[in-house]
């Protein structure tokens, strides 16, 4: 009843304002008032520029996109085959439980199916977590320079992001643990982090988990974990038994080369997964994505090749950067963040004219940094030559 009354009141309101002179501005203000408070603190997320957009805007062909940390080898042939087979059955709803993909993931990760939550990209899983657990005015601890999605979904929940300082571009997990109060609901850790490319060790993560109360949910976003070869990187799945408040998220968007299909997953205690499953909309992962991701897990060779191309490219890029005497943040991922020591937005625009799309990091309060995804050898070379040109 009260709901009806209030929507009626809004209706009357619009009817009135539509008759007055300065209609557009008044409508804008009235609509803004309707939105939830946290949402109005946000700016829309600016993604990496699509190749087609640059082609359209500048008439440049032969564009290289190194802006969104996609796999330059593309997806596995097995995934493509599974996707094209699945295309023949798109008249049907997907399997709403994602049974086959969960089964394949459970086997691959040595966990059980009921610990897995599938998402339309791992950012969907991150959003499910805040929807399910974060109440208005609760606190969510996030590192400085952390992945932007954490802050966006915290505001959408009308909760309060609390920012911890970084240490040499790394999440400072000790500082994050110290910020816990009785209002804290959740801690977001990107390991490794985007856009810095840095990681936290198993010891650091363990110390944090041992120091925060079990009433605080710790989310570890491992979008790039497949690229990591460092021995002290956490084996976080092993920690799930001991810490029922831990959630790990991963994605098929990065090393698997399936960013356009939107599929990722969370791994947690069965109890948390059961709650996330209540919030998850029934068909949040489409049938093509389910099929391709399931097949991609089997393609060990594609992952090996992707890793090798990345290691080679990282060496190629960082060697050139050292020669150019440019500082960069040492990265364990498939991208590297470079300090161009001047307005990075300008450098970004100059690189666009050379047909190369990178990511300026002003939105992350890193106004002189650009983030570059490791490409194939010739793409890396084109980037290096273009960067030399625009910096000279």
Ligand X SMILES: *Cc1c(COP(=O)(O)O)cnc(C)c1O
C-alpha of 94 from chain center: 24
- Among residues 116 and 386, whose Cβ is nearest to ligand X? 116
- In the complex, what is the shortest distance from the CB of residue 69 to ligand X, in angstroms, rounded to a whole number? 6
- In the complex, what is the shortest distance from the CB of residue 334 to ligand X, in angstroms, rounded to a whole number? 10
Is 122 a residue that touches ligand X (CB under 6 A)?
A: yes
- Segment near ligand X (CB under 6 A); pick from 27-35, 74-82, 86-94, 119-127: 119-127
- Segment near ligand X (CB under 6 A); pick from 121-129, 272-280, 300-308, 340-348: 121-129
- In the complex, what is the shortest distance from the CB of residue 22 to ligand X, in angstroms, rounded to a whole number? 41
Are 236 and 207 spatial neighbours (Cβ–Cβ below 8 Å)? Answer: no
Site for ligand X in 140-159 (CB under 6 A): 147
Q: How far apart are CA 130 and CA 161, in angstroms?
A: 12
- In the complex, what is the shortest distance from the CB of residue 251 to ligand X, in angstroms, rounded to a whole number? 3
Are 176 and 162 spatial neighbours (Cβ–Cβ below 8 Å)? Answer: no
Site for ligand X in 223-262 (CB under 6 A): 223, 251, 253-254, 259
* Contacts for 255 with CB less than 8 Å, ≥ 6 apart: 71, 224, 226, 227, 303, 306, 307, 334
- In the complex, what is the shortest distance from the CB of residue 65 to ligand X, in angstroms, rounded to a whole number? 14
- Among residues 254 and 303, whose Cβ is nearest to ligand X? 254
The secondary structure element, H or E, covering residue 143 is strand 139-143
Sequential DSSP letters for 336-378: EEEE-SS-HHHHHHHHHHTTEE-EEEGGGTEEEEEEEE---HH
- In the complex, what is the shortest distance from the CB of residue 280 to ligand X, in angstroms, rounded to a whole number? 15
Are 155 and 35 spatial neighbours (Cβ–Cβ below 8 Å)? Answer: no
- Segment near ligand X (CB under 6 A); pick from 94-102, 118-126, 176-184, 347-355: 118-126
327-329 vs 335-339, strand pairing mode: antiparallel
- Among residues 164 and 384, whose Cβ is nearest to ligand X? 164
Is 70 a residue that touches ligand X (CB under 6 A)?
A: no
Helices (H) and strands (E) in the chain, counts: 14, 15
Are 246 and 209 spatial neighbours (Cβ–Cβ below 8 Å)? Answer: yes
Q: DSSP character for 29?
A: H
Q: DSSP character for 250?
A: E
Nearest-CB residue to ligand X? 121
- In the complex, what is the shortest distance from the CB of residue 198 to ligand X, in angstroms, rounded to a whole number? 12
Q: How far apart are CA 191 and CA 198, in angstroms?
A: 7
Out of 69, 117, 130, 154, the only residue in the binding site for ligand X (CB under 6 A) is: 69
Residues 192-221, one symbol each (x = binds ligand X by CB under 6 A, - = not), give: --x--------------------------x
Binding site for ligand X (CB under 6 A): 69, 121-123, 147, 190, 194, 221, 223, 251, 253-254, 259, 264
């Amino acid at each position: 009843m009260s709901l009806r009354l209030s929507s009626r009141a809004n209706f009357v309101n619009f009817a009135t304002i539509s008759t007055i002179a300065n209609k557009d501005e008044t409508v804008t203000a009235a609509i803004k008032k309707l939105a939830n408070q946290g949402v109005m603190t946000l700016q829309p997320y600016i993604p990496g520029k699509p190749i087609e957009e640059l082609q359209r805007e500048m008439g440049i062909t032969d564009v290289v996109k190194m802006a969104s940390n996609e796999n330059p080898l593309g997806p596995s042939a097995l995934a493509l085959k599974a996707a094209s087979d699945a295309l023949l059955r798109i008249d049907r709803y997907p399997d709403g439980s994602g049974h086959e993909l969960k089964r394949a993931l459970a086997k691959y990760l040595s966990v059980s199916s009921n610990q897995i939550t599938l998402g339309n990209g791992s950012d969907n899983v991150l959003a499910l977590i805040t929807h399910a657990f974060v109440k208005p005015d609760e606190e969510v601890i996030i590192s400085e320079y952390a992945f932007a999605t954490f802050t966006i979904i915290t505001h959408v929940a009308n909760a309060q992001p609390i920012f911890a300082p970084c240490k040499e571009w790394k999440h400072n997990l000790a500082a994050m643990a110290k910020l816990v109060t009785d209002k804290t609901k959740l801690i977001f850790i990107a390991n490794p982090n985007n856009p810095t490319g840095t990681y936290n060790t198993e010891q650091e993560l363990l110390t944090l988990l041992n120091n925060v109360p079990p009433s605080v949910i710790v989310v570890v976003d491992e979008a790039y974990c497949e690229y990591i070869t460092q021995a002290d990187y956490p084996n976080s799945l092993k920690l799930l038994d001991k810490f029922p408040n831990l959630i790990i998220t991963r994605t098929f968007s990065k090393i698997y080369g399936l960013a356009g299909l939107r599929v990722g997953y969370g791994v947690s205690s069965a109890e948390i997964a059961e709650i996330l499953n209540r919030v998850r909309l029934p068909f949040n992962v489409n049938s093509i994505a389910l099929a391709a991701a399931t097949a991609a897990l089997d393609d060990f060779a594609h992952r090996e090749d992707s890793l090798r191309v990345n290691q080679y490219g990282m060496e190629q890029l960082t060697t050139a950067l050292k020669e150019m005497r440019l500082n960069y943040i040492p990265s364990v991922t498939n991208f590297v963040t470079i300090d161009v020591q001047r307005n990075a937005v300008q450098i970004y625009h100059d690189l666009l004219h050379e047909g190369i799309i990178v990511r300026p990091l002003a939105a992350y309060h890193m106004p002189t940094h650009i983030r570059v995804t490791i490409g194939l050898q010739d793409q890396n070379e084109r980037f290096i030559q273009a960067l030399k040109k625009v910096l000279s």
